[in-house]
Amino acid sequence: MSDLKHINRLVLQQALTVYHWVNRINELRDHRHVELNGLCAVASAELWRRCDQLGVKIGLHMAISSDGCHVFNSLDGVILDLTMRQFEQDYPGTFWTGSLADSPHPHWHRADASFDSMAALQHYQVLHGWPQSQQCVTDQRIRAYQLIRKSIRLHG
């Protein structure tokens, strides 16, 4: 049980780090969006990547509806939504965790599609015409964002 607590704590620490990272990226965008609108795939894929590098497997999922799509993560049946505030701007937390039954927006937290890699998510996004700025960050875009992170550390 202590391993599970350690993994959960590790994932939540990474989630908080990614939440702040994606907020900084939002500040650097040409057209800053309120409450991380349009950055769900970027944030969720980055959390997936960081956890994967640590040897922790988390889910990378997409809800698909007539209103659009939303990307989020999960761990042992618990949803982690780093960009929940785009749906509930007065949400008091930094990011939302809970079960699908507890979700205030269950249609955005259904796992209609699940991905086993960032490349698979990006492939899906490209096929379905997602704007490039909203696509998950892979390969050369990771290097570009690493430069942004380095710049943020130096100046921020």
Average pLDDT, the chain: 79
Token pair, residue 128, equals 């379905």
pLDDT digits (tens, 9 = 90+) for 12-55: 899 988 888 887 777 776 555 566 677 888 889 999 999 999 99
Q: Is 50 exceeded by the pLDDT of residue 1?
A: no
Given this model, what pLDDT does residue 113 score? 93
Token pair, residue 24, equals 């900084």
Contact 11, 58 (CB under 8 A): yes
- Candidate from 1-10, 11-20, 67-76 with smallest mean pLDDT: 1-10
Given this model, what pLDDT does residue 104 score? 83
3-class SS of residue 42: helix
Q: Quick one: CA torsion of 30, 35, 41, 42, rounded to 10 degrees?
A: 50
∠ CA 20-25-27, nearest 5°, is 95
Contact 136, 38 (CB under 8 A): no
Between 82 and 154, the higher pLDDT residue: 82
Q: Is 90 exceeded by the pLDDT of residue 59?
A: yes
Please give the biggest Cα pair distance in the chain: 45
CA distances to 34, 64, 130, 146 from 142, rounded to whole Å, are: 23, 25, 18, 6
Q: How far apart are CA 27 and CA 29, in angstroms?
A: 6
Q: How far apart are CA 16 and CA 61, in angstroms?
A: 19
pLDDT digits (tens, 9 = 90+) for 77-121: 889 888 887 776 656 566 778 888 888 888 889 999 999 998 899
Q: How far apart are CA 33 and CA 39, in angstroms?
A: 9
Query: Which amino acid is located at 11 in the chain?
Result: V
Provide the pLDDT confidence category of residue 146 given band limits of 50, 70 and 90: low
pTM score > 0.75 for this model?
yes
